[in-house]
Amino acid sequence: MSAPLVTQINHFIDYLKFERNLAEKTLDSYFRQLTAVSELLPITQWQGLTRDHIKRILALSNRAGLSPRSIALRLSSLRTFCQFLVAQGILETNPAKGVQAPKQGRPLPKQLNVDEMQQLLNIDEDSLLALRDKAMMELAYGCGLRLSEIAGLDLRHIEDGIRQLRVLGKGSKERILPMGKFAQESLKAWLKVRGQLVSGDEKAVFLSMKQRRISERQIAKRMKLWAQKQMIDSEVSPHKLRHSYATHLLESSGDLRGVQELLGHANLSTTQVYTHLDFQHLAQVYDKAHPRAKNK
């Protein structure tokens, strides 16, 4: 790797750090990607960079076994860097502009089956943390809450005698969610002991041992811990519980629109991707519901 290539990368990182105020993690990602790119280039000056060079870099990255997501990140980093070089007068045009990254298949989220959910939530402990964690998991699965929605839940969001939740989701979109029997009972059990962790006028439903609102990171960590304690083979996360909620509802009801509303999805297509029902099941829903579907 030639010195001029390294020099311009360092200038770019300084620009991102001092002019754009980007986080250290982001700076490190840019540096790693651009360093890897420079090692693949047959040129010694960025002025010689062409569109063909960039296509070759993508091809080599693919042969090296990088995932489509990683290749897309590499291309994005290079595209931003080239725009910086244009602004510096080093390049006349951005050769990365218009180059397409390989298509990324959208991975389907995994879910726990009903038996696994029973095993996870069948918690016998009645300690303070066990009651709190069980309530969090019951709401994640029983109401399909996002991780941010669990962490952001306040006492004022519990309505109708602990029978429903008012949740503020993505885009500040509010939705009312019914709570099932198990979610209600777990939440009541937690609220009875919640006062042991309350400090001042804290309104958060779920609190940490530091007597403040529990963080999203801590919620995810606690769910992972319970998966191990309850001997669940796969890793458990808030997202997986939300997906299990959606999957089990849709498999039982076939009501895609209803599940869309419960999940707080703006578009029906998001709900279709979020679930993993096969075409045959959706065809059965169509056959039962659409007035033009049945043969006379």
Active-site residues: which are they? 146, 170, 239, 242, 265, 274
Q: Which residues pair with 177 in a beta bridge?
A: 165
Measured between alpha carbons, how far is 141 from 244 in angstroms, rounded to an integer? 7
Measured between alpha carbons, how far is 42 from 51 in angstroms, rounded to an integer? 13
Name residue 39's amino acid. E
Q: Which residues pair with 204 in a beta bridge?
A: 154
Cβ-contact 241, 234 below 8 angstroms? no
Write down the residue that tokens 């990140």 correspond to: 73
149, two tokens: 């929605």
Q: Give the chain's largest Cα–Cα span.
A: 77
Q: Which residues pair with 175 in a beta bridge?
A: 167
Cβ-contact 32, 16 below 8 angstroms? no
Give the CA dihedral 193, 199, 201, 204, nearest 10 degrees.
-60
Cβ-contact 188, 180 below 8 angstroms? no
